[in-house]
Chain A
Amino acid sequence: MLAPLPVTGTQVIRVVKAMRRDRRAQWGPVVLGVAGVVAFLVTWQLYAEFGPVSDEFLPYPAQVIGQFFANFALTSFWAAIGATLWAWLLGLVISSVAGLVVGVLIGSSRFLRRATFTVLEFLRPIPSVALIPIAALAFGPQLEAELLIIVYGCFFVVLIQTLYGVADVDKIAYETTLTMRMTWLQRARHLVFPTLLPYFMTGVRLSATIALILGISAELIIGTDGLGQSVAQAQLNGAPVAMYALIVTAGALGIVINLAARAAERKVLFWHESIRAEVPA
């Protein structure tokens, strides 16, 4: 059904090129992605071998990866991961609920929005890690200390997103619900909640990452049980291989949390356009 035009050599070459491009788009990400990882490992290997850093401080990738998998057999390893995840989860839930409640309260009143502006703008940028020494003194290496750090950091993230969400409620839609004589509860359910949800979920997703960083920082410095504390311990024990393997674990944990947060957001917001737009790739 194609053109009855004479097909020239250059034309054939072009068609072949186009087909090759197609195949490249299919295999390129996989092949080059693997190449990228290999290149990283090779650079690491060469640097450990010939670089200025002593072997004692920078082990070979094979040792680290071996230890990473060997850890899976250790109860203490799983206990550390469990402790980190437990603090992460508790902190995330507390700050999300608190951020949502306070955000809706402040957000639904113009007076409160304006009155709290200064206080929020001042409290928000305080890095919650500044509280680490106080938390360490007040609670010692306990879960409460770690929770304080996580909750202070994440609460404001969820709060601010919730405030954006409440502010985004369409004015005309709001007036419509007034004319429909909806009760406060009905209005919250049918108008405010659906508008708010995407913003709130964004806040939770951002918090999921931040909570992990804050939790591990607290473990590292205060010595609360968890991955951070294990890393600090490995460093003190002069066990670099164990230390690097734990860091790889922290990265893997970070990826899992990222993916889980995105998946949760998608599941809750499947009807929302910003999610729908992402589907066709």
Chain B
Amino acid sequence: MTILKNLGYWLGLPIVLIVVWYLATLGDVSIFVPRPLPLWEKFVSVWLGDNILSDVVPSLGRLLLALAISTVLGVALGVVIGSFRAARWFSEPMLEFLRAIPSTIMIPVLLLVIGLNDTMRTTVIVLGCLWPVLLNTITGVRSLDEVLSNTAKVYGVRGWNRVWHLVLPGASPAIMAGVRQSLAVGLILMVVSEMFASANGIGTLITNFQNRVAVPEMWSGVLLLGVVGVLLSAIFALVQKGVLKWYDGLKAAADDN
């Protein structure tokens, strides 16, 4: 019974909305308003055929590569900057400025400096995704528990051991929060970077449809990006559940007391 009820909550409104949408678009509407059936047909014919390999996969490949680079870079820099006061003082004003630059505006520059290629598109995503990871890592490293940190010192846990056994796990809740923010930013930058002439990619395809004024096809691209976004955050939630198992347990234990 509860399963049925939950299912009702899950699917109820979407079904109602789709039916209303269908009925409302039966008559004559502006060409820019999508209709459910043609949208679905286009979604299947455009994205579930050859384009998966030729456009969707390259897009996601660049996104994941860029996310990996920004995570590694952000965590590495964040650990250094968070651990040393001098490094923090040295980098703070410059970082404060660089992160305030809206990352999409760097695209024209990167076009000049790097050229029109995948490296440029990946770099754009990294430039945007680096900041959430970096700033969260710095905060995470700085707010390590003092007693825990003293314990590590007393027991001779230093150098790499300290980073590996204390700093990284201790900062991991903050790091994961940063990566989650990066996901959303990364998806935006993936699309924008591909809207500047690209050989392939979801954004490129949508722009091509724009040039052909193929409106339902464009909407199907929006639908696809919604699906990608949902899948990415679902996968991330799974990873986070594994990585932060101890943290959830700790919080639950603290709430009981």
Contact = CB atoms under 8 A, between A and B. Distances in A.
**A–B proximity contact (CB within 8 A):** yes
A36 to B, nearest CB: 4
A129 interface: yes
Interface in B1-41: 9-14, 17, 32
Contacts of B113: 53, 57-58
A255 B195 CA distance: 27
Interface size bucket, B side?
A: 35 or more
Given A117-B9, A125-B229, A137-B32, 19 more contacts: A28-B85, A32-B89, A37-B94, A117-B10, A118-B9, A118-B10, A122-B226, A126-B226, A126-B229, A127-B187, A127-B188, A129-B195, A130-B206, A134-B219, A221-B192, A231-B108, A234-B108, A253-B100, A258-B100
A179 interface: no
A118 B7 CA distance: 11
Contact of A217 (B102, B109, B111): B102
Interface of B: 9-14, 17, 32, 85-86, 89-94, 96-109, 111-113, 184, 187-188, 190-192, 195-196, 203, 206-207, 209-210, 213, 215, 218-219, 221-222, 225-226, 228-230, 232-233
Nearest to B33: A138
Nearest to B225: A130
Interface in A113-166: 114-119, 121-134, 136-138
Interface of A: 28-29, 31-37, 39-40, 53, 57-58, 114-119, 121-134, 136-138, 212-214, 216-217, 220-221, 227-228, 231-232, 234-235, 240, 243-244, 246-247, 250-255, 257-258
B93 A221 contact: no
Q: Is the interface of A mostly helix, strand, loop or mixed?
A: helix
B89 to A, nearest CB: 4
B1 to A, nearest CB: 15
A129 B12 contact: no
A138 B226 CA distance: 21
Contact of B230 (A39, A125, A133): A125
B221 to A, nearest CB: 6
A121 B93 contact: no
Contact of B104 (A31, A34, A130, A220): A220
B176 to A, nearest CB: 17
A131 to B, nearest CB: 6
A29 B109 contact: no
CB-CB nearest 5 A-B residue pairs: A125-B229, A254-B100, A133-B210, A32-B89, A251-B101
A247 B209 contact: no
Given A37-B93, A213-B102, A125 B233 contact: yes
B235 to A, nearest CB: 12
Given A125-B229, A133-B207, A217 B101 contact: no
Most A-side CB within 10 Å, residue of B92, B102, B215: B102
A28 B187 CA distance: 39
Nearest to A35: B90
Nearest to B196: A221
A127 B189 CA distance: 9
A36 B191 CA distance: 33
Contacts of B219: 134
30 contacts: A28-B85, A31-B89, A33-B90, A36-B89, A36-B94, A37-B93, A37-B94, A117-B9, A118-B11, A119-B17, A122-B14, A122-B226, A124-B229, A125-B233, A126-B222, A127-B187, A127-B188, A130-B191, A130-B225, A133-B207, A134-B219, A137-B210, A213-B102, A213-B104, A216-B105, A220-B108, A227-B105, A247-B106, A251-B101, A252-B97
